[in-house]
Structure 1
Amino acid sequence: MKGTSSLSLKAWSKIHPPLPRTPRESQQLLKALTSSFRRQLDREYPPSAPSDRDGSNDRTPENPHSSVHATDRHLRAILDNPLFRVVPSKSAAARNGSGTASRLQQRIAKEPMVVFDELVASGSVTLPTLRDCLSSQMLLASRHIGNGLIQAMKDARAGSKVVSWWFASDSATRQMLFKSRAATTTLVKFLVAEGRQGVVLDWLRMLANHDIGGRNGQLPEKIAQQVFGHLLVNLVTAEIQYGQGLSLAMRYYLQTCKSQMFKDNVVLNLSWQPVLLPAGVHLCESLMQSSPSRSKELNGAMYNEYIEVLSKLAPNSCLLATAPLYHPTHPDVKPFLDFVDTLPPGRVDSSTGLKRESFVRAGFDALRLLVDQDKRRDVLYLARFLQQQLPEKPDSANASNSNHGAYTEREDLLSQLDLALA
């Protein structure tokens, strides 16, 4: 029986050309794919026009937005993926058996990122193993101190490895990372140490749009904002501890706030206030705990922007009254005194918006500024208020050295003021 033309192999070959069989055909196919790929990238990253300002033949710097650069970066990311360069071990690929799980945990404790690469290569990454790999690598790096700690974090490349895996994953796997605050907190520390803060800023932009990429990457607004807030606090905290310090942390905070507060030139969406405020509080508390010399390294104009942002996020708050105390060039006590005027007499609770210890610390910092400015009436007023806020003398057996020392220092200051103003 003669076959019909619809089942003819020749007809099918016209629709689906056979794979190349000779080196020459393979080279032609590769060239065609490369050309097609670059044409698509040209649409996404239009090549910039060459400059005619000089006629020199010197080589121009590489354009990071060109299709060639994007192609190279994309191919490097593909070739660097553990799927192509790592042969997974049997213990990493196995999913069952308590003995295997125990051996896996032992390996994670000793060589966490090697195990992570193997898990990626075998498609076996889970949220617990990701969290364990990051925390174990952080524990290993913590054996060093100072600059040695940051260098150990850089050398591990834990942040870069996780980011490469994340961007190569589907939307469900991408969402998995953000389900663990412990994992993202540790991950951001590594990214900051490696100088890859741009990745965190990209994630913040994605979360602001409620879409982390992929076919089903859309997130509910409430979930996206919750993750956004946590990630912003993580970035600010990590930048202060493992990055360039308070100045850059404040710059990232202001950059992020402005992108949301003044988006599309509309009035601030009230739903963003609780999202952006916690990182602002953390910045202020970090300023209180830092040395005066570190605070003075901040740019005065940038600090004014910080106070302006706080005035929109938390008007009439203790936070807004406290921040001017730490201005790098023009510290101002008046907003704090005005805020104290609004408080009920007696001992105040933690409803000021700052931790109680932070509020009392700010009060004594304000008192020192008033003493330096020789404002005797304000000194007496604030000293009486702060005397009411001090707790009973802590038990020296149970109190920490730092708390006991702070209490003693503040008592001494108030005693000296009593003598001076008597």
Structure 2
Amino acid sequence: MKASSVQQAFKSLTSRIHPQLPLSERESQRLLNALTSSFRSQLEHHHHNHDAAASAASASACAQPSLSPITATDRHLASILTNPLLTKPVHQQLKSKSKHPIALFEDQVAAGRANLPSARLCLEAFRNSLSSLPPAQVKDHITRYAAGSRALRWLWTSAYTRSLSFALDARFCSHLAFFLVHEGKETALWELIDTPVATSPNLTAKEASIRKGLLLSSIVKTHLSGPDQSLESALSTFFRALETSHTSHASITHAGVYLTQALVKLGLCSNSDVALYDKFIDSIPRWTKNHPDRATYRIANLTLHHPATPSADPALDFIRELRPLASHPFLNPSTASQRSTVFAFFFDTVTLLQKQQRFDDALWVMEFMQQRFPDDFAPPRRQSSAVPAPYQVSETSETTSPHSTFPEWKVPELG
């Protein structure tokens, strides 16, 4: 015994000086088997004691076949190995492309692990994969995988639909609308908009209306995106919401603002498009009635870019009303995006006035901008001869005209 104790102490000492070498494959397997056997025996012992203590519960379930300790152990091991903490996150699985995004989404739903971020990632990955396909295959893939219908079915079984909280996730909402519209299931989106939402202290009627409005905006954006964009479909969607008068009415402000910006950029030429353009301008006071100054600005901006008869008169009227109002929000942009919007409006006004050879009005607008934003617009720089530095602003203007030259104007960068 004494020799054995000394020998063990010596081994302990030598192991500190010379650490043990890694186990061989056979030794590793033997150690794993021993640990597994020990783990199983502990679990079997636990289940045996638990079953003995729960005789009343087992009596009520006597009609069902009882599980053997080994089966219970296997199930317990399976639950550990399928625990979300031991599985790869969705974004990693999508990156590895080990499974189709929609199949992965279905797996998440079946396992009860689907949530808004994971659903968004799967829809986004599938949508991105379509960009490399020819149009015929894109349509076939959208129909075959029915990503929008699957996502909507999951939404109806979750808490996201009852409060429409999913609409606050702009990217998810955009993907959902895109797929449902292209699957021919736009009516399902209207069901979401038309279904009354139960209000609560955490969800007022106004907030519910805003969420429906965000969903509506996603439908409008879908119709105006991609190679098959349709202004008629987008505006029909908007006018349908505008005419709705029941209690589930959706706020259309977001869709209206988006359309105002989009119409300025679209190159419209057909008579039908021009008629829709005019109809949208006429609708602005109806959905901006609480903010008449915003309605005036939007009408002026769209009139500046009218595809058939552009006019700067509404813009000039708007600027004249602004001139004495130094504190007006439009003259005090607080973000780069707001500054871009303000400056673009003034530049577009000046450009049209110059094109129409209304040089006095153009110079008046330029001087007003220089006074209001002195850091962004440099004051006129005079040459030594006291003659204004040439600044040709209109290719159609005559050089003999007293208004054919303008002060040099420093143009700020637009965000």
1:179–1:295 CA distance, 2 compared to 1 (3 A):
same
Aligned-pair CA distance for 1:283: 1.2
CA deviation vs aligned residue, 1:260-279 (integer Å, no higher than 9, x gap): 4xx59xxxx9x97xx32222
1:300–1:390 CA distance, 2 compared to 1 (3 A):
farther
Which of 351, 354, 357 is residue 368 of structure 1 equivalent to?
351
What runs of 5+ residues in structure 1 fail to find an aligned partner?
1-89, 394-410
Whether the aligned pair in 2 keeps the contact of 1:321 and 1:336 (CA below 8 Å) is yes
* Equivalent residue runs for 1:52-131 within 5 Å: 96-102=83-89, 105-109=91-95, 110=97, 111-131=100-120
Distance in 1, Cα, partners of 2:375 & 2:189: 41
User: Which SS does the other structure have where 2:83 is aligned?
Assistant: coil
CA deviation vs aligned residue, 1:392-412 (integer Å, no higher than 9, x gap): 49xxxxxxxxxxxxxxxxx87
**1:184 alignment partner AA:** C
What is the TM-score of this pair, normalised by structure 2?
Answer: 0.57
Aligned-pair CA distance for 1:341: 0.6
Whether the aligned pair in 1 keeps the contact of 2:281 and 2:302 (CA below 8 Å) is yes
Alignment-derived partner of residue 192 in structure 1: 181
* Equivalent residue runs for 1:182-221 within 5 Å: 182-206=171-195, 209-210=196-197, 220-221=204-205
Whether the aligned pair in 2 keeps the contact of 1:177 and 1:183 (CA below 8 Å) is yes
1:135 aligns with 2:118: no
Identical residues among aligned pairs (%): 24
Aligned-pair CA distance for 1:185: 2.6
Alignment-derived partner of residue 227 in structure 1: 211
User: Which SS does the other structure have where 2:229 is aligned?
Assistant: coil
User: Which SS does the other structure have where 1:342 is aligned?
Assistant: helix
Alignment-derived partner of residue 325 in structure 1: 304
Distance in 2, Cα, partners of 1:227 & 1:297: 34
Aligned-pair CA distance for 1:145: 9.2
Aligned-pair CA distance for 1:381: 2.4
Aligned-pair CA distance for 1:300: 3.6
Distance in 1, Cα, partners of 2:316 & 2:138: 42
1:336 aligns with 2:315: yes
Aligned-pair CA distance for 1:148: 8.1
1:378 aligns with 2:354: no
Distance in 1, Cα, partners of 2:85 & 2:119: 19
Alignment-derived partner of residue 237 in structure 1: 221
Alignment-derived partner of residue 331 in structure 2: 348
What is the TM-score of this pair, normalised by structure 1?
Answer: 0.56
1:351–1:129 CA distance, 2 compared to 1 (3 A):
closer
**1:311 alignment partner AA:** P
**2:197 alignment partner AA:** H
Alignment-derived partner of residue 253 in structure 2: 277
Distance in 1, Cα, partners of 2:341 & 2:357: 24
Which of 327, 341, 347 is residue 358 of structure 1 equivalent to?
341
What runs of 5+ residues in structure 2 fail to find an aligned partner?
1-76, 378-390, 407-415
User: Which SS does the other structure have where 1:244 is aligned?
Assistant: coil
1:282–1:334 CA distance, 2 compared to 1 (3 A):
same
**2:347 alignment partner AA:** F
CA deviation vs aligned residue, 1:66-118 (integer Å, no higher than 9, x gap): xxxxxxxxxxxxxxxxxxxxxxxx9999862433234x544344211012223
Aligned-pair CA distance for 1:420: 1.3
Whether the aligned pair in 1 keeps the contact of 2:359 and 2:403 (CA below 8 Å) is no
**1:276 alignment partner AA:** I
Whether the aligned pair in 2 keeps the contact of 1:92 and 1:115 (CA below 8 Å) is no
Larger radius of gyration: 2
**Cα RMSD (Å) of the superposition?**
4.5
Whether the aligned pair in 1 keeps the contact of 2:148 and 2:183 (CA below 8 Å) is yes
Whether the aligned pair in 1 keeps the contact of 2:301 and 2:315 (CA below 8 Å) is yes
**1:285 alignment partner AA:** Q
Aligned-pair CA distance for 1:195: 4.3
Report how many residues are paired: 297
Alignment-derived partner of residue 263 in structure 2: 287
1:310 aligns with 2:287: no
